[in-house]
Amino acid sequence: MSVPVDHRPRFPSDFRLLLASQSPRRRSLLRDAGVPFTVVLSDAEERVSGRPATELVEANALAKIKTVRMQAGSGPGSFVLGTDTLVTIDGAVMGKPASVGEAAAMLEMLSGRTHQVVSGVALQRIGGAGPTDVVDRVEVAGAVTDVTFSLLDRGQVESYVASGEWWGKAGGYAVQGLAGLFVTEIKGEYSNVVGLPLCLLYRLFRKLGFDLMQRTWLEGGS
């Protein structure tokens, strides 16, 4: 039996998405969803304290798109995507561990318990006739996913930390990797735990006039 071919139309030539993120997980999620994009590094500072997690991630996502906005050009199909993800447990925010000790401590805190993965997504559509005639439309929203870990013993924690997979990950683990062996339950978007809530992103694109599934501008969108 032959493998089915994707018969959907190609993305319009005037569609352009700039991803303001260095995360390989976010790039992989977009690539697997068939969405073309260009990575533009953002130098925005990611804040992990001082405000509730839901507010922090949305503010961080907005800060990222602001730093790369002018690199998007002024074409009618230009979008800029910024996103940020944090892990929280008992109201405490867990960022990215900076050392083996921090990674182990985070895993021990998550062991046998349910925590929340909180993401903020900011999508900006840029359009206009020229560099000085830019019309900006921005949609910002958040997603929360509950993740439950099994009870981990010291050996499991040490083995996972030794793998190095925790590096650069909010909460010190990667659900799509070895840490998936520890997860007993997920309530909410799985892709949010990886780093980018795709269902939420789809809705934001539609609000801004483009359908990622149909690969077409919605009425009045372009």
Q: Which residues are catalytic?
A: 84
Instruction: Provide the sign of the torsion angle of the four alpha carbons 154, 156, 161, 163, taken in this order.
Output: positive
**Burial level of 155, CB count in 10 A (0-12/13-18/19+)?**
exposed
Which amino acid makes up residue 45? E
- Helix or strand or coil: residue 70? helix
Rounded to the nearest 10 degrees, how much is the dihedral formed by the CA atoms of 146, 147, 148, 150?
A: 180
Q: Which stretches of 20-97 are assigned E, i.e. beta strand?
A: 38-39, 78-89, 92-94
